[in-house]
Amino acid sequence: MAGAVTNRRSASHGKLPRGTEESAFAKWTLILLALAFCLVFLLLPLVNVFAQAFAKGWDIYWRALTHPDSWAAIRLTLIVAAICVPLNVLFGLAAAWAIAKFEFRGKALLITLIDLPFSVSPVVAGLMFIVLFGAQGFFGPWLTEHNLQIVFAVPGIVLATVFVTFPFVARELIPVMQATGSEQEQAALTLGANGWQTFWHVTLPSVKWGLIYGVILCNARAMGEYGAVRVVSANIVGETQTMPLRVESLNDQFQAPAAFAVASLLALLALGTLVLKTIMEWKQARDFAQAQSLQLSAVSGQPGRQD
């Protein structure tokens, strides 16, 4: 079927333009504009980061990364992401499920609440946690009494990051779940599956790509968050300094190569998730293609019915 569509499309791309097609000028202007924009604002800075990072050679790069303070920042960033992303997945699945599959009062309010972190400046978000958990804050006295520290410590960073990354997974999942509907799950129930089996074998795989996108976005933001973390962390070198904070402080201390080295690693971590996703997509496409070709050879072997 896909083949037929492609053929039809390529056939209409001959000399005769389709009625709905824009002029070649408009088409190429838009394409060039988009390309130029990507080149100047995305690719060039990214290349520059790596160029600067390696400007003084591999040795300096390696030393900048293995510096104990940088190493601490890398570890902290990974820990924060490792806590935030699973929390977000759990929350996102629950929220998307509730919104897509149930009708209840206050649904619109819930959707708005999920979006709230997008509309609040990260700095404000950080300050909120200071107001709540700081020494002078709402829970401050109680926390001091029990010898618990949240702000200016790792729990505060995690809280702030969870807050900022809150909407990512839910936002990606809600439209996918709404589009999928609940018929597949009902089918699983009629075939004897219980709730957990249905979720594991049917629901989760059907929202897989939405979930993966959500996780990638969430992870990138969790690793790269600056504003909110800056406010709640107090930026203590070797203790509460995450990678973005480390990049900034190195830059302030005129250690450009080291700053770019950490920055390049941060960029690499984000790019890595994108590469992983691309590999998964490629693998699925290959599986589909394989199923199709297997099928074709089977049909040529025996007269199966094609409706």
Stretch of residues binding another protein (CB under 8 A), selected from 11-19, 137-145, 186-194, 250-258: 186-194
1 touching another protein, by CB under 8 A: yes
34 touching another protein, by CB under 8 A: no
Task: Tell me the C-alpha distance between 268 and 259, whole Å.
Answer: 14
Query: What minimum distance in Å lies between the beta carbon of 280 and another protein?
Result: 13
Nearest to another protein of 68, 301 (CB atom): 301
Q: Do the beta carbons of residue 211 and residue 169 sit within 8 Å?
A: yes
Q: Do the beta carbons of residue 187 and residue 240 sit within 8 Å?
A: no
H helices within 39-67, ranges in order? 44-53, 58-66
- For another protein, the binding residue among 197, 200, 271, 275 (CB under 8 A) is 197
Query: What minimum distance in Å lies between the beta carbon of 287 and another protein?
Result: 8
SS3 state at 205: helix
CA pseudo-torsion sign 34, 47, 254, 258? positive
Nearest to another protein of 72, 188 (CB atom): 188
- For another protein, the binding residue among 127, 189, 256, 270 (CB under 8 A) is 189
Query: What minimum distance in Å lies between the beta carbon of 290 and another protein?
Result: 8
Nearest to another protein of 68, 192 (CB atom): 192
> Read out DSSP for 99-146?
HHH---TTHHHHHHHHHHHHHS-HHHHHHHHHHHHSTTSSSHHHHHHT
Task: Tell me the C-alpha distance between 277 and 209, whole Å.
Answer: 9
Query: What minimum distance in Å lies between the beta carbon of 288 and another protein?
Result: 6
Residues 6+ apart with CB under 8 A from 287: none
CA pseudo-torsion sign 63, 69, 75, 81? negative
298 touching another protein, by CB under 8 A: yes
CA distances from 239 to 16, 82, 286 (A): 66, 17, 45
Query: What minimum distance in Å lies between the beta carbon of 178 and another protein?
Result: 15
Task: Tell me the C-alpha distance between 259 and 247, whole Å.
Answer: 5
Task: Tell me the C-alpha distance between 124 and 120, whole Å.
Answer: 7
Q: Nearest 5 degrees, angle CA 165-CA 113-CA 185?
A: 85
What DSSP element (H or E) covers 201?
Answer: none
Nearest to another protein of 204, 279 (CB atom): 204
16 touching another protein, by CB under 8 A: no
Q: At what angle do helices 68-101 and 107-119 cross, to 10 degrees?
A: 160
175 touching another protein, by CB under 8 A: no
- For another protein, the binding residue among 56, 63, 101, 201 (CB under 8 A) is 201
Query: What minimum distance in Å lies between the beta carbon of 191 and another protein?
Result: 4
Query: What minimum distance in Å lies between the beta carbon of 278 and another protein?
Result: 19
Stretch of residues binding another protein (CB under 8 A), selected from 97-105, 147-155, 235-243, 298-306: 298-306
Mark 203-242 with x for binding to another protein (rule: CB under 8 A) and - for no binding.
Answer: --xx-x----------------------------------
Mark 254-283 with x for binding to another protein (rule: CB under 8 A) and - for no binding.
Answer: ------------------------------
Query: What is the contact surface with another protein in residues (CB under 8 A)?
Result: 1, 183-184, 186-194, 197, 201-202, 205-206, 208, 288, 290-292, 294-295, 298-299, 301-302, 304-307
